[in-house]
Amino acid sequence: MRKFFLTRLPGRDGVLQNRWLQPVRHWLQHPNLWHLNRHSVAGGVALGLFCGLIPGPLQMLGAAFLAMWLRVNLPVALATTLYTNPFTIVPLYLLAHRIGLLVTGAPVQGLIEEFPELSWKDGFEQLWQWVVTLGEPLLIGLPVLAIGLAVIGYFAVRFAWRSAVQWKWYQRSKRHTEHH
């Protein structure tokens, strides 16, 4: 698992050399932000899944600050926020709304039929107005969904990492017994 992440994530030195990050460079020095171990990667995935549901362009900024504060893998946290994109955000918000309806006990409404036709000119404003009409169930459902995804992501990574390590141990012991 470690090799998989090492080949796909930017290195600490490369990030610290970036001139745009000089004002926060001292915060980026902590070694836990760059360690690739079961705990730091699982924490980074959990943070990325949680922050991916933050509305607007603040997802990566939120993931970066939380990763620095909680000392988990920063590149993993940032990369994981990318699960939300223009194709996935509407279904995720609808799911969050349904979760909010379940939590609050409010009646289910026909929101999919009410989805606005988006134009290039006013698309973001129309989408925002539609999200606002979702109201309280969305405001309750988003954090519940974010926490649920974070918990599932954390334990899924921990399980996958442990399984990969056990498989390598098994393969190593199998090779060792074949040679003796």
Are the beta carbons of 67 and 77 closer than 8 angstroms? yes
What element of type H or E holds 13? helix 12-16
**Is residue 78 over pLDDT 80?**
yes
Give the separation between CA 79 and CA 48, rounded to whole angstroms. 7
Q: How many domains does the chain divide into?
A: 1
Is pLDDT larger for residue 123 or for residue 70? 70
Range of the domain at 114: 2-179
Give the separation between CA 28 and CA 34, rounded to whole angstroms. 9
pLDDT for 148: 97
Helix extents (H) in 26-122:
38-51, 59-70, 74-80, 89-104
Are the beta carbons of 72 and 44 closer than 8 angstroms? yes
pTM of the full structure: 0.73
Q: Which residues contact 89 (CB under 8 A, 6 or more apart)?
A: none
Average pLDDT in the chain: 81
pLDDT for 43: 96
Q: What is the pLDDT of residues 44-77, one digit of tens each?
A: 999 999 999 997 779 999 999 999 999 999 999 9
Q: What is the pLDDT of residues 150-171, one digit of tens each?
A: 999 999 999 999 999 899 898 8
